[in-house]
Amino acid sequence: MLRRALICLLLAAAPAAAQEAPARVVSMNLCTDQLAMLLAAPGQLVSVSKLARDPMSSAMAEEAKGYPVNHGQAEEVWLLRPDLVVVGSYTAQAAAQMLERLGTRVLRVAPAASLADVPARLRTLGEAMGRQKRAEALIAEFETRLAALRAEMDRRPSAALYYANGYTTGDQTLAGEILLAAGFHNIAGARGGGQLPLEALAMAEPEALITARPYPGASRSEEILMHPVVRQLRAARAATANTGSDWICGTPHVLGAIEDLSRFRQEIE
Protein backbone atom coordinates (compact mmCIF):
# COMPACT_ATOMS: atom_id res chain seq x y z
CA MET A 1 0.00 0.00 0.00
CA LEU A 2 2.79 2.37 0.91
CA ARG A 3 4.66 1.46 -2.28
CA ARG A 4 1.60 2.24 -4.41
CA ALA A 5 1.19 5.61 -2.68
CA LEU A 6 4.83 6.49 -3.38
CA ILE A 7 4.50 5.57 -7.06
CA CYS A 8 1.37 7.73 -7.39
CA LEU A 9 3.16 10.62 -5.72
CA LEU A 10 6.15 10.35 -8.09
CA LEU A 11 3.91 10.18 -11.14
CA ALA A 12 2.04 13.26 -9.99
CA ALA A 13 5.29 15.18 -9.54
CA ALA A 14 6.81 14.12 -12.89
CA PRO A 15 5.32 16.88 -15.09
CA ALA A 16 6.73 19.57 -12.80
CA ALA A 17 10.17 17.98 -12.76
CA ALA A 18 10.44 17.47 -16.52
CA GLN A 19 8.36 19.96 -18.42
CA GLU A 20 7.35 18.81 -21.86
CA ALA A 21 9.13 20.59 -24.72
CA PRO A 22 6.88 23.24 -26.31
CA ALA A 23 5.60 22.24 -29.75
CA ARG A 24 4.82 25.81 -30.88
CA VAL A 25 7.24 28.64 -30.08
CA VAL A 26 6.87 32.31 -31.00
CA SER A 27 9.65 34.89 -30.67
CA MET A 28 8.87 38.61 -30.44
CA ASN A 29 12.39 40.04 -30.14
CA LEU A 30 15.22 40.47 -32.65
CA CYS A 31 17.81 38.70 -30.51
CA THR A 32 15.58 35.87 -29.32
CA ASP A 33 14.49 35.41 -32.95
CA GLN A 34 18.04 34.46 -33.87
CA LEU A 35 18.63 32.28 -30.81
CA ALA A 36 15.36 30.45 -31.46
CA MET A 37 16.16 29.91 -35.14
CA LEU A 38 19.53 28.40 -34.17
CA LEU A 39 17.96 26.11 -31.57
CA ALA A 40 14.54 25.08 -32.87
CA ALA A 41 13.61 21.63 -34.04
CA PRO A 42 11.92 21.45 -37.47
CA GLY A 43 8.42 22.94 -37.20
CA GLN A 44 8.87 24.06 -33.58
CA LEU A 45 9.34 27.78 -34.22
CA VAL A 46 6.16 29.17 -35.77
CA SER A 47 6.84 32.92 -35.89
CA VAL A 48 9.61 35.50 -35.46
CA SER A 49 9.48 39.28 -35.20
CA LYS A 50 9.42 41.45 -38.32
CA LEU A 51 12.92 42.74 -37.47
CA ALA A 52 14.30 39.24 -38.00
CA ARG A 53 14.10 39.85 -41.76
CA ASP A 54 15.85 43.24 -41.66
CA PRO A 55 19.42 42.76 -42.99
CA MET A 56 20.56 45.96 -41.25
CA SER A 57 19.61 44.50 -37.87
CA SER A 58 19.50 40.73 -38.18
CA ALA A 59 22.46 38.43 -38.81
CA MET A 60 19.94 35.79 -39.91
CA ALA A 61 17.76 37.85 -42.22
CA GLU A 62 17.81 35.22 -44.97
CA GLU A 63 16.93 32.39 -42.60
CA ALA A 64 14.08 34.46 -41.17
CA LYS A 65 12.37 34.50 -44.56
CA GLY A 66 11.41 30.91 -43.88
CA TYR A 67 9.21 31.89 -40.93
CA PRO A 68 5.98 33.90 -40.64
CA VAL A 69 6.57 37.24 -38.91
CA ASN A 70 4.68 38.90 -36.08
CA HIS A 71 4.47 42.58 -35.17
CA GLY A 72 4.63 42.26 -31.40
CA GLN A 73 0.87 42.37 -30.86
CA ALA A 74 -0.64 40.12 -28.19
CA GLU A 75 -3.74 39.36 -30.27
CA GLU A 76 -1.87 38.08 -33.33
CA VAL A 77 0.54 36.03 -31.21
CA TRP A 78 -2.25 34.46 -29.15
CA LEU A 79 -4.02 33.36 -32.34
CA LEU A 80 -0.92 31.37 -33.26
CA ARG A 81 -1.68 29.10 -30.24
CA PRO A 82 1.90 29.11 -28.89
CA ASP A 83 3.06 26.87 -26.05
CA LEU A 84 5.93 29.30 -25.40
CA VAL A 85 6.44 32.97 -26.26
CA VAL A 86 9.96 34.42 -26.01
CA VAL A 87 10.47 38.16 -25.57
CA GLY A 88 13.25 40.53 -24.59
CA SER A 89 13.30 41.80 -21.02
CA TYR A 90 12.70 45.39 -22.16
CA THR A 91 10.51 45.00 -25.25
CA ALA A 92 6.86 44.13 -25.89
CA GLN A 93 6.14 44.01 -22.16
CA ALA A 94 2.48 45.05 -22.46
CA ALA A 95 1.88 42.28 -24.99
CA ALA A 96 3.83 39.78 -22.86
CA GLN A 97 1.77 40.62 -19.77
CA MET A 98 -1.48 40.26 -21.69
CA LEU A 99 -0.40 36.87 -23.03
CA GLU A 100 0.44 35.74 -19.50
CA ARG A 101 -3.01 36.79 -18.32
CA LEU A 102 -4.43 34.63 -21.09
CA GLY A 103 -2.48 31.66 -19.75
CA THR A 104 0.40 31.62 -22.24
CA ARG A 105 3.85 30.76 -21.00
CA VAL A 106 6.26 33.68 -21.56
CA LEU A 107 10.05 33.64 -21.24
CA ARG A 108 11.88 36.97 -20.89
CA VAL A 109 15.49 36.99 -22.07
CA ALA A 110 17.80 39.87 -21.09
CA PRO A 111 20.06 41.34 -23.78
CA ALA A 112 23.65 40.12 -23.77
CA ALA A 113 26.15 42.53 -22.22
CA SER A 114 29.25 40.38 -22.73
CA LEU A 115 30.62 37.46 -24.73
CA ALA A 116 30.07 35.24 -21.69
CA ASP A 117 26.36 35.92 -22.00
CA VAL A 118 26.20 34.12 -25.37
CA PRO A 119 26.48 30.59 -23.90
CA ALA A 120 24.19 31.60 -21.03
CA ARG A 121 21.44 32.78 -23.37
CA LEU A 122 21.75 29.68 -25.54
CA ARG A 123 21.48 27.47 -22.47
CA THR A 124 18.46 29.35 -21.05
CA LEU A 125 16.48 29.19 -24.27
CA GLY A 126 17.65 25.67 -25.04
CA GLU A 127 16.23 24.47 -21.73
CA ALA A 128 12.94 26.33 -22.27
CA MET A 129 12.55 24.84 -25.76
CA GLY A 130 13.61 21.33 -24.76
CA ARG A 131 16.65 21.65 -27.02
CA GLN A 132 19.43 21.24 -24.46
CA LYS A 133 21.62 18.99 -26.63
CA ARG A 134 21.48 21.43 -29.52
CA ALA A 135 22.30 24.31 -27.17
CA GLU A 136 25.31 22.52 -25.67
CA ALA A 137 26.62 21.69 -29.17
CA LEU A 138 26.36 25.36 -30.20
CA ILE A 139 28.03 26.45 -26.95
CA ALA A 140 30.96 24.03 -27.42
CA GLU A 141 31.51 25.26 -30.98
CA PHE A 142 31.25 28.91 -29.90
CA GLU A 143 33.74 28.56 -27.05
CA THR A 144 36.24 26.66 -29.21
CA ARG A 145 36.17 29.26 -31.99
CA LEU A 146 36.31 32.16 -29.52
CA ALA A 147 39.37 30.71 -27.77
CA ALA A 148 41.13 30.42 -31.13
CA LEU A 149 40.31 34.01 -32.05
CA ARG A 150 41.61 35.34 -28.72
CA ALA A 151 45.23 34.53 -29.51
CA GLU A 152 47.83 36.72 -27.83
CA MET A 153 49.28 39.58 -29.89
CA ASP A 154 52.32 41.79 -29.50
CA ARG A 155 50.53 45.12 -29.90
CA ARG A 156 46.95 46.32 -29.67
CA PRO A 157 46.14 49.27 -31.97
CA SER A 158 43.94 51.93 -30.37
CA ALA A 159 40.37 52.16 -31.61
CA ALA A 160 37.18 54.10 -30.97
CA LEU A 161 33.64 52.85 -31.34
CA TYR A 162 31.73 55.92 -32.46
CA TYR A 163 28.03 55.98 -33.25
CA ALA A 164 25.15 58.37 -33.86
CA ASN A 165 24.88 61.27 -31.38
CA GLY A 166 28.54 60.76 -30.45
CA TYR A 167 27.76 57.59 -28.49
CA THR A 168 30.51 55.14 -27.63
CA THR A 169 30.84 51.88 -25.72
CA GLY A 170 33.64 50.74 -23.43
CA ASP A 171 35.09 47.41 -22.42
CA GLN A 172 32.09 46.46 -20.24
CA THR A 173 29.74 45.96 -23.19
CA LEU A 174 29.22 43.32 -25.85
CA ALA A 175 30.66 45.60 -28.56
CA GLY A 176 33.59 46.49 -26.31
CA GLU A 177 34.39 42.83 -25.75
CA ILE A 178 34.20 42.16 -29.50
CA LEU A 179 36.77 44.93 -29.96
CA LEU A 180 39.07 43.46 -27.29
CA ALA A 181 38.75 39.91 -28.64
CA ALA A 182 39.77 41.19 -32.09
CA GLY A 183 42.98 42.62 -30.66
CA PHE A 184 42.25 46.33 -30.24
CA HIS A 185 42.63 48.72 -27.31
CA ASN A 186 39.41 50.65 -26.73
CA ILE A 187 40.06 54.34 -26.00
CA ALA A 188 36.80 54.46 -24.00
CA GLY A 189 38.38 52.19 -21.37
CA ALA A 190 36.63 50.15 -18.71
CA ARG A 191 33.13 51.58 -18.88
CA GLY A 192 29.71 50.86 -20.27
CA GLY A 193 28.22 53.23 -22.80
CA GLY A 194 28.00 57.01 -22.96
CA GLN A 195 28.79 60.15 -24.92
CA LEU A 196 32.29 60.77 -26.27
CA PRO A 197 32.83 64.47 -27.04
CA LEU A 198 34.40 65.26 -30.40
CA GLU A 199 37.27 66.99 -28.56
CA ALA A 200 38.08 63.83 -26.61
CA LEU A 201 37.91 61.73 -29.78
CA ALA A 202 40.30 64.08 -31.61
CA MET A 203 42.78 64.24 -28.70
CA ALA A 204 42.83 60.45 -28.34
CA GLU A 205 43.90 60.07 -32.00
CA PRO A 206 42.73 56.45 -32.37
CA GLU A 207 44.38 54.34 -35.04
CA ALA A 208 41.00 52.91 -36.03
CA LEU A 209 37.52 54.40 -36.05
CA ILE A 210 34.67 51.90 -36.00
CA THR A 211 31.19 53.21 -36.73
CA ALA A 212 27.76 51.85 -37.61
CA ARG A 213 26.52 51.70 -41.18
CA PRO A 214 24.10 54.60 -41.79
CA TYR A 215 20.45 53.71 -42.20
CA PRO A 216 18.66 54.75 -45.41
CA GLY A 217 17.21 58.25 -45.28
CA ALA A 218 18.36 61.33 -43.41
CA SER A 219 19.03 61.19 -39.67
CA ARG A 220 20.29 64.19 -37.72
CA SER A 221 21.72 61.85 -35.10
CA GLU A 222 24.14 60.46 -37.70
CA GLU A 223 25.35 63.87 -38.90
CA ILE A 224 28.08 63.87 -36.25
CA LEU A 225 29.79 61.06 -38.16
CA MET A 226 30.30 63.53 -41.03
CA HIS A 227 31.60 66.32 -38.79
CA PRO A 228 34.84 67.95 -40.03
CA VAL A 229 36.68 66.67 -36.93
CA VAL A 230 35.73 63.09 -37.74
CA ARG A 231 36.54 63.51 -41.43
CA GLN A 232 39.92 65.02 -40.60
CA LEU A 233 40.66 62.20 -38.19
CA ARG A 234 39.91 59.66 -40.90
CA ALA A 235 42.00 61.50 -43.50
CA ALA A 236 44.96 62.07 -41.19
CA ARG A 237 45.28 58.77 -39.42
CA ALA A 238 42.39 56.54 -38.51
CA ALA A 239 41.42 53.58 -40.65
CA THR A 240 37.67 53.06 -40.71
CA ALA A 241 35.51 49.98 -40.34
CA ASN A 242 31.80 49.46 -39.82
CA THR A 243 29.83 47.41 -37.35
CA GLY A 244 27.06 45.23 -38.76
CA SER A 245 24.12 43.06 -37.81
CA ASP A 246 26.37 40.44 -36.20
CA TRP A 247 27.38 43.00 -33.51
CA ILE A 248 23.87 43.63 -32.21
CA CYS A 249 22.79 40.45 -30.46
CA GLY A 250 24.52 38.00 -28.16
CA THR A 251 24.48 35.01 -30.52
CA PRO A 252 27.28 32.89 -32.05
CA HIS A 253 27.23 35.31 -34.99
CA VAL A 254 29.39 37.71 -32.94
CA LEU A 255 32.28 35.45 -33.92
CA GLY A 256 31.89 36.75 -37.47
CA ALA A 257 32.26 40.29 -36.15
CA ILE A 258 35.45 39.33 -34.30
CA GLU A 259 36.87 37.58 -37.38
CA ASP A 260 36.16 40.57 -39.64
CA LEU A 261 37.64 42.99 -37.14
CA SER A 262 40.73 40.81 -36.66
CA ARG A 263 41.38 40.89 -40.41
CA PHE A 264 40.91 44.67 -40.36
CA ARG A 265 43.46 44.97 -37.52
CA GLN A 266 46.00 42.94 -39.49
CA GLU A 267 45.54 45.23 -42.49
CA ILE A 268 46.34 48.40 -40.55
CA GLU A 269 49.31 47.07 -38.59
The CATH homologous superfamily of the domain defined by 158-268: Nitrogenase molybdenum iron protein domain (3.40.50.1980)
Tell me whether the CATH fold assigned to 22-145 matches the one assigned to 158-268: yes
Q: How far apart are the first and last CA of the chain?
A: 78
The CATH homologous superfamily of the domain defined by 22-145: Nitrogenase molybdenum iron protein domain (3.40.50.1980)
Nearest residue to 100 (alpha-carbon basis) of 74, 71, 81? 74
3-state secondary structure of 227: coil
The percentage of the chain sitting over the pLDDT mark of 90, rounded to a whole number, equals: 68
Question: What are the boundaries of each domain within the chain?
Answer: 22-145, 158-268
Pairing of strands 45-49, 69-70: parallel
**What sections of 18-128 are H helices per DSSP?**
30-39, 61-64, 74-78, 93-101, 117-128
**What sections of the chain are H helices per DSSP?**
2-17, 30-39, 61-64, 74-78, 93-101, 117-128, 132-149, 174-181, 198-204, 228-236, 254-268
For all residues of the chain together, what is the average pLDDT?
89
- The string of pLDDT tens digits covering residues 19-76 is 689 999 999 999 999 999 999 999 999 999 999 999 999 999 999 999 999 999 999 9
Q: Tell which wins on pLDDT, 154 or 69.
A: 69
pLDDT at 10 over 60: no
Sheet strands side by side (includes 158-161): 185-186, 158-161, 208-212, 239-243
- The string of pLDDT tens digits covering residues 105-150 is 999 999 999 999 999 999 999 999 999 999 999 999 999 999 999 8
**pTM for the whole structure:** 0.87
